[in-house]
Structure 1
Amino acid sequence: MKRDKPKYKQIVDAAVIVIAENGYHQAQVSKIAKEAGVADGTIYLYFKNKEEILISVFREKMGDFVEIVKNAIKKEITATEKLYEMIDSHFRWLHGDRHLAIVTQLELRQSNKDLRYRINEVLKEYLVLLDSILKEGIEKGEFDEKIDIRLARQMVFGTIDETITSWVMNDQKYDLLKLAPEVHRLILNGMKS
């Protein structure tokens, strides 16, 4: 499989930097190749086009992040604590990689409808984890039993997402990690019975 090839990760990591610094539309394959330290033609051994690179960036990075969240919520802790772990992990993930934060929060949003659909497919695994936390919280009486899971998922993800986007749009001038407890508190207040 392509992902096992040695230069694949190099190209994906280079694409994050180039897309963040130049914008998706100005991120030429030649710039990505140069950043990755490979010949332009090498890119096409791994990817059909620039769109495939963007999808692969999101798939690979989101896959890594989903594993972080899975490990965080595997612990024997309450659903309330799992929700905090998810919020804190999401903030830490993007706080630790400013280029990736720009790509996920700004550049992926400017893509066409088909590309956004494919990105949403990648996001599904993360949302399934969020649903499992919400269901557990309802079952254990931590969250209001009348909660609409779909609406709660949108509220939680939307709040996390918008908080990170605002941080990126403000040139990451403040400490995103300090916001995790407050975001958690506000979300919990909306879900308690």
Structure 2
Amino acid sequence: MNKNKPKYKQIIDAAVVVIAENGYHSSQVSKIAKKAGVADGTIYLYFKNKEDILVSLFQDKMGQFIEKIEHETTSKQSAEEKLLTLVETHFKQLAADHHLAIVTQLELRQSNKELRYKINNVLKRYLAVIDHIVDEGIQEKLFRNNLNRRLVRQLIFGMMDEAVTNWVMKEQKYNLEDQAKDVHSLIVYGLAEPK
């Protein structure tokens, strides 16, 4: 309901920057309001509290992120191409927004159990994209058919996630997107039918 109000996006975008620069725990609502150019009270018209801002930020940004990945991967023919596109798009989107990368890789990790549950709910749609590519890869005989699907999904997501976290920790000193082909080939050869 509130998402269509003009200041919603302003507050979300401000929260990404404030949380990235100060850390979640040191990011007072007043700092977010100041960055967004709104009164403190305005924030409470949109969000219940700081945690609600963090969850909404993740739902909003991750929703756009997943839509882009769905769009980019469905335009490809083979599972191998789709997988490469998935990795490239994942890296490209986070490389393009350093503040968002810091928030997703660092600030969302130190959250409480309830928050993690809400975050995992958002990720389900992304994991479904990975599952679909793995299933196609099995049908195309790119991947072996006796794979533990759940473990494979965790490994693919985990590999991309760890690559991005490492890049963030190294203060983005190298080109993240340059690693996409290596990550892709590690996944493809790791899941391949033995010759």
Task: Give yes or no for the alignment of 1:182 onto 2:186.
Answer: no
- Offset at residue 175 of structure 1 (A): 0.6
Equivalent residue number for residue 20 of structure 1: 20
CA shift, 1:76, in A, is 4.0
Q: Which residue of 2 aligns with 1:140?
A: 140
Question: Residue in 1 aligned with 2:170?
Answer: 170
Structure 1 ranges of 4+ moved more than 2 A? none
Structure 1 residue aligned with 2:103: 103
TM-score normalised by L of structure 2: 0.98
Q: What corresponds to 2:5 in structure 1?
A: 5
2: CA distance between counterparts of 1:17 and 1:131?
Answer: 32
Matches of 1:27 and 1:117 in 2, distance apart? 22
> For the residues of structure 1 that align with 2:130 and 2:85, how far apart are their CA atoms?
11
The residue aligned with 1:54 is 54
**Counterpart residue type for residue 80 of structure 2:** T
Q: Equivalents in 2 of 1:77, 1:112: separation in Å? A: 40
**For the aligned residues, what is the CA RMSD?**
0.7
Match of 2:89 in 1: 89
Q: Structure 2 CA distance, aligned partners of 1:174 and 1:71?
A: 27
Which amino acid in structure 2 is aligned with residue 57 of structure 1?
L
For 2:75, the equivalent position in structure 1 comes to 75
Secondary structure of 2:106's partner?
A: helix
State how far apart, in whole Å, the 2-side matches of 1:2 and 1:140 are. Answer: 44
What secondary structure, in the 3-state scheme, does the structure 2 residue paired with 1:173 have? coil
Q: Which residue of structure 2 lines up, in the alignment, with residue 160 of structure 1?
A: 160
1:12-51 per-residue CA deviation (whole Å, 9 max, x = no partner) reads: 0000000000000000000000000100000000000000
Q: Which amino acid aligns with 1:61?
A: K
For residue 25 of structure 1, give the secondary structure of its aligned residue in structure 2.
Answer: coil
In 2, Cα distance between equivalents of 1:144 and 1:84: 18
Q: Percent identity?
A: 59
1:63 aligns with 2:69: no
* Residue aligned with 1:172, SS: coil
With the length of structure 1 as denominator, give the TM-score of the two structures: 0.99
Q: Secondary structure at the match of 2:173?
A: coil
Measured in 1, the distance between the counterparts of 2:188 and 2:35 equals: 43
Q: What secondary structure, in the 3-state scheme, does the structure 2 residue paired with 1:77 have?
A: coil
Work out the CA distance in 2 between the residues paired with 1:27 and 1:184: 36
Question: What SS does the corresponding residue of 1:144 show, helix, strand or coil?
Answer: coil
What are structure 2's unaligned runs of at least 5 residues?
none
Q: Distance in 2 between matches of 1:27 and 1:192?
A: 46
Q: CA deviation at 1:146?
A: 1.1
Q: Do 2:2 and 2:8's aligned partners in 1 also have CA atoms closer than 8 Å?
A: yes
**In the alignment, residue 167 of structure 2 is paired with which amino acid?**
W
Letter in 1 for 2:170: N
Are 2:131 and 1:131 aligned?
A: yes
